[in-house]
């Protein structure tokens, strides 16, 4: 199972690389990694398991964060009852359109690969149209908005060597006009 020891941290060069596209059929190793990424998110959102293995809670984990520079990320966004709102391993994800309107989390963002608090709003597109492939190579297209859209954009950033604080301006709480602040 993936633990925090497997997650590389800020300063590791892999976090700043553009990850490579995957080709289908996926290798057994790629499929195993996909399962492990999602297993980490499930474990990290389970209070007992997270405490036992000292896991930081996560709603997304991208392959580059475990030093695999490939375009694959797991996303597990739960609702307030803990039921999955968006649960997918995204292969070769691509934002095919996005709203002009921005959104940012009121509490800012964190990152499993960044061991420090960096205050500030991270302006992202409030709505995106996302295309991705599942592990069998089937294409999916979905429109996402709000929190789920932000999580997916945070993860796709990891595939492009971008970290959340790259989006925080000189005035950390300045955002473009009309930005939706999500509590
Ligand atoms: O990619 C990662 O490091 C996982 C991040 C994803 C993320 C952080 C902030 C905003 C959007 C996505 C972790 O999930 S950070 C910890 C966390 C856990 C639950 C809810 C929000 C943030
Ligand atoms: Ni992150």
Q: Which pLDDT belongs to residue 65?
A: 99
Residue owning tokens 């633990």: 3
Q: Which ligand is nearest to the CA of 75?
A: 1
CB distance 33 to 91 below 8 Å: no
Structure-token pair, residue 23: 């080709």
Residue 146 sits at the vertex; the CA angle it makes with 145 and 151, to the nearest 5 degrees, is 95
pLDDT digits (tens, 9 = 90+) for 2-34: 999 999 999 999 999 999 999 999 999 999 999
Q: What are 75-85's pLDDT values in tens digits?
A: 999 999 999 99
Enumerate the β-bridge partners of residue 142: 130
pLDDT tens track for 57-93? 999 999 999 999 999 999 999 999 999 999 999 999 9
Give the integer Cα–Cα distance in Å for 183 and 103: 11
User: What percent of the chain lies above the pLDDT cut of 90?
Assistant: 100
Q: What ligand 1 atom has the least distance to the C-alpha of 147? A: 11
Q: Give the angle 152-156-161 at the CA atoms, nearest 5°.
A: 145
Residue 88, classified by CB atoms within 10 Å of its CB into exposed (0-12), middle (13-18) or buried (19+), is buried
Q: How confident is the model at residue 110 (pLDDT cuts 50, 70, 90)?
A: very high
Average pLDDT, the chain: 98
- The rounded Å distance from CA 42 to ligand 1 centre is 13
| Ligand at shortest distance from the CA of 58 | 1
pLDDT at position 163: 99
Which is catalytic among the residues 39, 107, 155, 177? 155
**Percent of all residues in the chain with a pLDDT value above 70, rounded to a whole number:** 100
CATH number of the structural domain 4-182: 3.90.45.10
Q: Tell me, in angstroms, the distance from the centre of ligand 2 to residue 9's CA.
A: 10
Ligand 1 closest atom vs CA 61: 1
Instruction: Give, using CA atoms, the residue closest to atom 9 of ligand 1.
Output: 109
Tokens of 162: 């971008």
User: What are the structure tokens assigned to 16, written together?
Assistant: 């700043």
Active site residue 155: yes
């Amino acid at each position: 199972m993936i633990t925090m020891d497997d997650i590389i941290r800020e300063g590791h060069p892999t976090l700043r690389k553009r990850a490579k596209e995957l080709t289908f059929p996926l290798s057994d190793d790629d499929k195993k990694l996909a399962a492990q990424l999602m297993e980490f998110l499930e474990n990290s959102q389970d209070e007992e398991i997270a405490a036992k293995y000292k896991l930081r809670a996560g709603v997304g984990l991208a392959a580059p964060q475990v030093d695999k520079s490939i375009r694959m990320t797991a996303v597990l966004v739960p609702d307030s009852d803990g039921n999955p709102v968006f649960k997918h391993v995204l292969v070769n994800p691509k934002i095919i359109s996005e709203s002009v309107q921005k959104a940012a989390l009121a509490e800012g963002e964190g990152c499993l690969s960044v061991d420090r608090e960096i205050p500030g709003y991270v302006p992202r597109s409030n709505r995106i149209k996302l295309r991705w492939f599942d592990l069998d190579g089937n294409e999916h297209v979905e429109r996402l908005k709000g929190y789920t859209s932000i999580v997916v954009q945070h993860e796709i950033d990891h595939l492009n060597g971008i970290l959340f604080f790259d989006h925080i301006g000189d005035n950390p709480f300045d955002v473009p006009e009309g930005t939706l602040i999500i509590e």
